[in-house]
Amino acid sequence: MNGHAATDIWKSLQEVRTKAPVVHSITNYVVMNSTANALLAVGASPVMAHAEEEVSDMVEIASALVINIGTLSREWVKSMFRAAEKAKSRSIPIILDPVGAGATPYRTGTAREIVRAFRPEIIRGNASEVMALSEDAARTKGVDSSETSHAAVSAARCIHEAYGSVVCISGETDYLIGRGPVAKVRNGHPMMTRVTGMGCAATALCGAFASVDGEYVRAAAHAMAVMGIAGEIAAEGADGPGTLQVRFLDALYRLTGEDIDARLKLEV
């Protein structure tokens, strides 16, 4: 099965590289540079615009909208809503990263409001963040998960049933919840958790793959597999998180069908 899946992932990656889809990211200050570089390395075209006065125009030329609530402000929330309204009117996918949901009422409330109002095609977060979208009692340790990915699967099912969103729970195993069976991606390396913004980059890659594949469980699974495989390759020979980050961009840029076929750990 992985042989067929590897071929599908390679085809999607080639399509991203050929089409260079514009991915409009309203993301946080911490990760803007690394997220833009990850999109460029995989072959997409990033736009990092957050001014309320121009987000609608930027979404007009985009193939996907990524909303990341990492560094919230009132002005940015207005921009997120305006951009999401435009994305819905154009029927392009919205991908939400509810960074730190559960940590504060403002953060949790904003994430839930975006989900209710716009029903994102894909929501990608760690277990605590996903649970916070549907459960007040979720425990969040900053933007790091204090729950296992598996524990959030039932919450993800509730979100999908209520809003139709595909939910990607990232962790040692990534779980993807949509209409059918739960898909699991087991690629990645523990050192990736020592580099800030890796999860945000994964969300952005979900945007890139969703722009070329309207089956959003598959698109998210492809994005997470590419992310994890590139991380594994980067970790080989890396001295630590600093060199991992550089090698990760190189691995995304140089990723081949052979790499995917040899390393893919996907279960459906």
Contact (CB, 8 A) for 182 and 176? yes
Q: What are phi and psi of 26, to 5 degrees?
A: -100, 95
Query: Which domains occur in the chain, in start order?
Result: 2-267 (3.40.1190.20)
Residue 98 to residue 226: CA distance in whole angstroms? 21
Contact (CB, 8 A) for 234 and 76? no
pLDDT digits (tens, 9 = 90+) for 73-110: 999 999 999 999 999 999 999 999 999 999 999 999 99
Quote the pTM value: 0.93
Residue spans of the chain under pLDDT 70: 1-2, 135-149
pLDDT of residue 147: 56
Which stretches does DSSP call E strand in 90-195?
A: 94-97, 122-126, 140-141, 144-145, 166-170, 174-177, 183-185
The token duo for 118 is: 């716009």
Beta bridge partners of 145: 140
Mean pLDDT of the chain: 93
